[in-house]
Amino acid sequence: MVIRFRIGGKAYSYDEDKLMLSTAVIIEEHIGGTVSDWQQGLLDGRADCYQALAWIVLRGADPDVAIGDVDVPMMALANPYLKAKMRKIAELTAVVEKAKREAAPVTAGGDAGEAA
């Protein structure tokens, strides 16, 4: 999933499906936890997790930036990140609901889910 951000008037993006192991190791060292902890920390609003996300996003513009030196408005990251996650959840929920409807048994009367 690609998430788009606007920081300081500039557009950035982050593709969470392309997180490299080398980047993950640095994130884990920075937050003192696993990548899973980092992802949960983003959902929980942990500042160190958003600092790591900002580092990933901004590193494309400046590969020499240190993770601990990144300082951007947190909500410039949190709002787009959380909105993208909510959209993804809504999409997946719709897929599950459609599959449930399609899998519902059809009775002799033709109504799905009713007992004969």
Residue 52: C-alpha distances to residues 39, 46, 55, 106, 113 (Å): 11, 10, 5, 51, 48
* Cβ partners under 8 Å of residue 27, min gap 6: 35, 38, 52, 56, 67
- Which residue range forms the structural domain that includes residue 92? 2-103
Domain membership flag for residue 114: no
Domain membership flag for residue 9: yes
Domain membership flag for residue 28: yes
Overall domain count for the chain: 1
Say how far apart CA 91 and CA 81 lie, in whole Å.
16
Domain membership flag for residue 92: yes
What is the DSSP secondary-structure string of 30-43? Answer: HHTS-HHHHHHHHH
Q: What is the pTM of this model?
A: 0.79
Do residues 55 and 65 make contact, with C-beta atoms less than 8 angstroms apart?
A: yes
Per-residue model confidence as pLDDT tens for the chain (116 residues): 899 999 999 999 999 999 999 999 999 999 999 999 999 999 999 999 999 999 999 987 677 889 999 999 999 999 999 999 999 899 999 999 999 989 987 676 655 555 54
Say how far apart CA 69 and CA 102 lie, in whole Å.
51
